[in-house]
Chain A
Amino acid sequence: MFVEFPKFLAVGGLVCALLTVVYPLRAQSLTVSVISPLPNLIVNGTSTNSGSMTVRTAWNAAGRYLGWVETCLYMNAPLTGTGGNPDTIAAANVQITLPGGGTQSIVGGGDCGVATSTRITWNYGQSGNANATVGFQVTNLGNLEADTYNGTVYVVALMY
């Protein structure tokens, strides 16, 4: 026994379906870039001087997302020296100063869907771009061998 389906619901469904088809034609996008890289940090005593980097986040939610965008930083490994230098600098010793203030380790609680990442900024809107400048200082270094220590900072954004 088939129950008659109201015509207005059927028409509504078709309208929604059309919207579903139309919105994806406006391609959503989410990109991050480093527009001002971090300078070399020089050790003085047991910490470095301060430096900063600026990252840009650009997004277009295209109606497929609410328009919340968060940008995060993280590191996957310690900084390492050269040659036979066994000393390393733990990622936890990399302190960042957020654009809104406050200083914390770059090793955070796992924002942006990435374990150990730290959110540096929030943005909202269906589309846009925003720059965020983050301060860096490496602390609690102890007695490192004289050397150049290299590491990698990753920038990622999450939109929903």
Chain B
Amino acid sequence: MKGYKVYLAVAVLLLLALPSFGQAVSSAVNTPITVTRSESITISVTTALPTLTIPAGVLNSSPQNMVVFSSWNLKPTRTNGVQICVSAAAALTGSTGNADTIPVAAMYVTPSGGSATALGGATANCGITGAVQFKSYATGTAAQRKNLTGQSDTIPVQVTLATDVTADTYTGNLTVTGYSN
């Protein structure tokens, strides 16, 4: 009788220790997820520069306006603003057989709030030597850096010759640049 008591006690105790088939959770492993939104500055000319006419007997044209639309989305480190600049890589040339040109330095842009400034100077603006900075926009805040609605700038351009040129139509290209560093 006493032996069975021992059996019973041991069996009950050990049965209680049977596996419970519960749950086990692993340690969590983490891995990075990275999303990159690239920067952008978009420039477009919404109103092209009209023909600049140099009347007979004078060396300069009246200013004419071109309208430029710009928008941008910059990363947080771009706190030095966005600059809008105008430059020209080459002189304006006439028609076939006309050796005269209108040099880059004869083209003037009037910066916002400033006075007419010749292109082709020694100073670099927007990372381009000879470019004239028309305007600079602050980018100190997140809203300023993410200017997706954009804005228009009206940029006056004129020609002032140092020496007269043959009567002709002279053509060339201006480059408008948006820049941030």
**Interface, chain A (partner B; CB < 8 A):** 2, 4-5, 7, 9-10, 12-14, 16-17, 19-20, 23, 28, 30-34, 37-38, 40-43, 48, 53, 55, 57, 63-66, 75, 79, 81-87, 89, 94, 112-114, 136, 138, 141, 143-160
- Distance (whole angstroms) from the CB of A97 to the closest CB of chain B: 14
Q: Which 10 A-B residue pairings sit nearest by Cβ, starting from the closest?
A: A13-B11, A17-B14, A83-B76, A10-B7, A146-B39, A157-B26, A160-B23, A5-B8, A43-B37, A30-B26
A7-B7, A14-B11, A20-B17 known; A34 and B29 CB under 8 Å? yes
Q: List 28 interface pairs A-B (beta carbons < 8 Å), by A numbering.
A: A2-B4, A5-B11, A10-B7, A14-B11, A16-B14, A16-B18, A19-B18, A20-B14, A32-B29, A38-B32, A38-B33, A38-B34, A41-B34, A41-B36, A53-B31, A65-B24, A82-B75, A136-B33, A145-B37, A146-B74, A146-B146, A148-B75, A150-B33, A155-B31, A156-B26, A156-B28, A157-B25, A159-B23
| Complexed CA–CA distance, A102 and B149 (Å) | 37
A146-B74, A155-B29 known; A84 and B34 CB under 8 Å? no
* Contact bitstring B15-49, A, C-beta under 8 A = 1, else 0: 10111011111111111111111111000000000
**Is A79 a contact of B11 with CB atoms below 8 Å?**
no
A43-B37, A152-B30 known; A84 and B76 CB under 8 Å? yes
| Complexed CA–CA distance, A152 and B29 (Å) | 10
New A-B contacts (5) at CB < 8 Å, excluding given A63-B19, A84-B141: A2-B4, A82-B76, A148-B37, A151-B34, A153-B33
**Is A30 a contact of B34 with CB atoms below 8 Å?**
no
Interface majority SS (helix, strand, loop, mixed), chain A: mixed
**Is B38 a contact of A30 with CB atoms below 8 Å?**
no
- Distance (whole angstroms) from the CB of A17 to the closest CB of chain B: 3
**Residue B77 CB within 8 A of the other chain:** yes
**Residue B10 CB within 8 A of the other chain:** yes
A30-B24, A65-B22, A113-B25 known; A86 and B35 CB under 8 Å? no
**Is A86 a contact of B4 with CB atoms below 8 Å?**
no
Kindly list chain A residues whose C-beta atoms are within 8 Å of the C-beta of B73: 143, 145-146
**Residue B1 CB within 8 A of the other chain:** yes
Q: Tell me which of A5, A23, A34, A89 contacts B35 (CB under 8 A).
A: A89
| Complexed CA–CA distance, A138 and B37 (Å) | 12
